Amino acid sequence: MKKCILIGIAGGTGSGKTLVAKNLFRSIGSSKVVCVEQDWYYKDLSEIPLDSRDSKNFDHPNSIDSDLLFEQIQKLVNGEDVEAPVYDFKTHSRSKMLTKKISGHKIIILEGIFALYASRFRNLMDIKVYVDTDSDIRFIRRLERDIAERGRNVDSVIQQYLTTVRPMHLQFVEPTKTFADIIIPQGGKNVVAIDLLKTKIKSLLAEEN
């Protein structure tokens, strides 16, 4: 029997998924909520030459180590501890020394572009959320993030967006909107939608007590 509440938050890259998750984290309380980022579970490409790693398609579901993610999400919803991987986006490799310990939380938020993609994950979820933001806004946010945090340059971000990010979004991410219980336009700045989501979460918590 499940011991924890699982919330899935999906949406395109740069849609505001992380901000929604952070708002929930702050308002409900860090002692009750933990956010698991799907990006932590990118497959380790350390066996591939460094100069070839950027050409890989990181916007396809197969880029994620879904088996490890599912195994750890199952443990978390059953109240067990896990050691989540630490991923280096500049080298596209997983740390062999560091992990993130996750334990002792009542609410788990799984956040990522493919959070609602696979039925085995959706079947574990108590609430499924899709964050819907205009594509031009999402691209600008992605551009700023990849330059500031992931060591990319403008040309490489634009090329990746046109060749993989946009077509993969249309093929694999956008269709998962149909599985959502709640669709949040404008991401983390939609105060009304987030308040409704918080109310539902508090209702679920009350039912558990």
3-state secondary structure of 200: helix
Domains of the chain: 5-196 (3.40.50.300)
Q: Is the pLDDT of residue 208 over 80?
A: no
Instruction: Band the pLDDT of 48: cuts 50, 70, 90.
Output: confident
Give the closest residue to 142 by CA, choosing from 154, 130, 132.
Answer: 154
The segment with the largest mean pLDDT, out of 41-50, 61-70, 186-195, is: 61-70
If you average pLDDT over every residue of the chain, what do you get? 89
Identify which has the larger pLDDT, 82 or 23: 82
Contact (Cβ atoms closer than 8 angstroms) between residue 95 and residue 43:
no
Using the predicted structure, report yes or no on whether residue 69 has a pLDDT greater than 70: yes
Does residue 119 carry a pLDDT above 70?
Answer: yes
Query: In this structure, which amino acid lies at residue 188?
Result: G
State which amino acid sits at residue 162: L
pLDDT of amino acid 1: 59
More confident residue, 184 or 150: 184
pLDDT band of 113, cuts 50, 70, 90 = very high
Q: How far apart are CA 18 and CA 21, in angstroms?
A: 5
Confidence bin at 89 (pLDDT 50/70/90): confident
Other C-beta atoms lying within 10 Å of the C-beta of residue 48: 13
**Distance (Å, rounded) from C-alpha 70 to C-alpha 82?**
12
